Amino acid sequence: MLKNYMKEGQKLPLFGVGPYLVYGIAMVNLIGIVLFGYVFKIGILGSPWIHIFRIVGVLLILLGIAVWFIGAVKSDMDDSITENRLQTKGIYAWVRNPMYSGWWIALSGIAFMWHNMWMLIFPIIDWAIMTVVLINTEEKWLLDLYGDEYAEYKRHVNRCIPWKCPCRRTEHDRHTV
């Protein structure tokens, strides 16, 4: 389960920039929802788009929750952090930041619920914010802590989009070739 403490010798913060990043992109989305849906009232779509956007929104919200849950609760990430061990198994073989990705996917789904074509830009804006923040914070921390091991991991696993590329070679693949 998630623990919120610093163990002696622990080199990384348990939550990192996560809360600030998630609140930041949530606020960007909220501002977009208010501006386009209620202030300017532009880009609002009618039927059948309402239903399509809402179905996609619900699916993204559910997918985001699942990605976050697997990354946060089912992956033993808190133990990896407290033991200063790079986590590369499970969902971390698919995406380097599943907890942030889960929030990003879920917030994208929430943006879709307003069936507004202008809200389609917000997942891209959120992705850009998330990318810049992660490159300038946690990726630097992890590179300092794990060096070449993290650099190699970065080359083979996507930062934000959960995707198992068939071109990626796992540790098992390297030993069987």
Q: Does residue 39 fall inside a structural domain? A: yes
Q: Does residue 8 fall inside a structural domain? A: no
What is the mean predicted confidence (pLDDT) over 81-85?
A: 86
Of 144, 156, 2, 154, nearest to 73 by C-alpha is 2
Residue 168 pLDDT exceeds 80 = no
For the question of whether the overall pTM of this predicted structure is more than 0.85, the answer is yes
Q: Could you tell me the pLDDT band of residue 76, with boundaries at 50, 70 and 90? A: confident
Full 3-state SS string of 50-108? HHHHHHHHHHHHHHHHHHHHHHHCCCCHHHHHHCCCCCCCHHHHCECCHHHHHHHHHHH
State residue 7's pLDDT score: 62
Q: How wide is the angle at C-alpha 35 spanned by C-alphas 29 and 41, nearest 5°?
A: 125
Pick from 129-133, 166-170, 171-175: least confident: 171-175
Q: Does residue 1 fall inside a structural domain? A: no
Q: Does residue 42 fall inside a structural domain? A: yes
Identify the CATH number of the domain in which residue 140 sits. 1.20.120.1630
pLDDT in tens, 28-73: 999 999 999 999 999 999 999 999 999 999 999 999 999 999 999 9
Q: Does residue 77 fall inside a structural domain? A: yes
Q: Does residue 143 fall inside a structural domain? A: yes
Q: Does residue 9 fall inside a structural domain? A: no
Domain of 24, in residue numbers: 18-176
> How many domains are there within the chain?
1
Q: Does residue 86 fall inside a structural domain? A: yes
